[in-house]
Amino acid sequence: MHTQTVAQLAQGLREKRFSSVELTQHFCSRIEELDPIYNAFITLNKDAALAAAAAADQRLASDNATALTGIPIAHKDIFCTLGLRTSCGSRMLDNFIPPYDATVIKRFNEAGAIILGKTNMDEFAMGSSNENSFYGAVKNPWDQTTVPGGSSGGSAAAVAALLAPAATGTDTGGSIRQPAAFCGITGLKPTYGRVSRLGMVAYASSLDQGGPMAHTALDCALLLNTMAGHDPLDSTSAQDPVQDYTQDLEQPLKGLRIGLPREYFGEGLDPGTGACIQAALQELESQGASLVDINLPNSKLTIPAYYIIAPAEASTNLSRYDGVRYGHRCEDPGDLHDLYTRTREEGFGDEVKRRILVGTYALSAGYYDAYYKKAQQARRLISDNFTAAFEQVDIIAGPTTPGTAFPLGAKSDDPVAMYLEDVYTLAVNLAGLPGISVPAGFVDGKPVGLQLIGRHFAEAQLLNVGHRYQQATDWHQQAPVTGGTL
């Protein structure tokens, strides 16, 4: 059962080839047996999952089911889950049991999906390698000496290792797409506001967005059908109507104009990765798409702008963790100042502290205009570049990452080198656009991801292109030796 996609499992449940209880037990057993190798999960939700699966079987028997009823799904440990620990990969929230469900979790529950457990992640979603977790680094199932990418590395590793058929992730600067590329799965970052952020613990509020991670574009479409939609309790939630994202997956690509930014194919791109991307583009061209050279001249501003704006927002969002209201609290504080300082010193890891310091400095009196304001002006220039590009093309394509997964610890002492891993993904978040990464080959046995970027609310088009590419290739069907082949 673990070698089947979400769509195949859903069909199997409808045809009564197996029950949701059997399916859920199967994945729980795999997690118990194999996750000590990968460290993809922080919390396994076995007892509650089996109870929910029994309820799902009754719902399936009564013909009152949705496409996801009875399907086990793993959730990134950044989504609040009623009665189930939500740690954000941090000591600060190691003891936090939310009193409510995030809107994303609520919608999956209403659809009858099963919560397998909560996946490991970079602390408070800050990182590109999933080495910044209080619970230890996650291992890439393709090569356990390498990183799975971050911050949604636990979700990506769980899907790649066939410990879960699908998972949720969040993307602030590439944290769905980059680990999807490193782990050889499909990951979609929706348009900002397409998926509710209520109950999704905030890192950078103007950039964060939840999205699906699975083996195929079809599976991501099925998950997005449940995740997407206006949430009146989230003021940043978009009111644009939600379509059925599976409806247009089979549309032919004839006439599609694909933009190729010169800035994405130059210095810094690994030659092997570049060759895989070129081969993928040729496949899309063979299906009737045309390739158009374009420029995104302000791409060089992406990393400096992001690493001012995101830390600044993080500095504000993480000020709530002070040992007073909830979360970690230091022992025997001498006074209020001691409570604050020791709680935060003990509760936060090095990368989180680094970003808080950068963000606080950028927002401080005398530096706000010099740094934060300039970064926001650069953000507008980056967004304007995309607007101009979409006057010439329908979607934009390129590599998801400069290379394949790098060794554990290789960049831990060099934050700037780590930040450069997101050079092709950050701009999508700054502009609020949707982006998807689909498997596009291997270099030395490690997966490569093709990134597709669309106009605002063009998720259906991205899923269509990804699906048509996957109909013609089998990269998405490959799995590590421990799992099998889809």
Q: Out of 90, 151, 237, 315, which one is annotated catalytic? A: 151
Given a cut of 90, whether residue 482 has pLDDT beyond it is no
Q: What is the pLDDT of residue 437?
A: 98
Beta bridge partners of 15: none
Q: What is the pLDDT of residue 382?
A: 98
Given a cut of 80, whether residue 485 has pLDDT beyond it is no
Q: What is the DSSP string of 46-97?
A: HHHHHHHHHHHHHHHHTT---TTTT-EEEEETTB-BTTB---TTSGGGTT--
Q: What is the mean pLDDT of residues 358-364?
A: 95
CA distance 118 to 385: 38
Active site includes 76? yes
Active site includes 315? no
Given a cut of 70, whether residue 115 has pLDDT beyond it is yes
CATH fold of the domain at 1-486: Amidase signature (AS) enzymes (3.90.1300)
Nearest CA among 159, 155, 149 for reference residue 127: 149
Residue 108: CB atoms within 10 Å: 24
Q: What is the pLDDT of residue 234?
A: 98
Q: What is the pLDDT of residue 413?
A: 86
Give the whole-number percent of the chain exceeding pLDDT 70. 99
Beta bridge partners of 75: 118
Structure confidence at residue 316 as a pLDDT band (50, 70, 90): very high
Structure confidence at residue 416 as a pLDDT band (50, 70, 90): confident
Q: What is the pLDDT of residue 63?
A: 82
pLDDT in tens, 250-280: 999 999 999 999 999 998 999 999 999 999 9
pLDDT in tens, 378-394: 999 999 999 999 999 99
Q: What is the mean pLDDT of residues 368-377?
A: 94
Q: Out of 20, 175, 299, 315, which one is annotated catalytic? A: 175
Q: What is the pLDDT of residue 324?
A: 94
Given a cut of 60, whether residue 483 has pLDDT beyond it is no
Given a cut of 60, whether residue 111 has pLDDT beyond it is yes
Q: Out of 76, 106, 411, 446, which one is annotated catalytic? A: 76
Active site includes 286? no
Show me where the domains of the chain are located: 1-486
The DSSP output letter for 228 is B
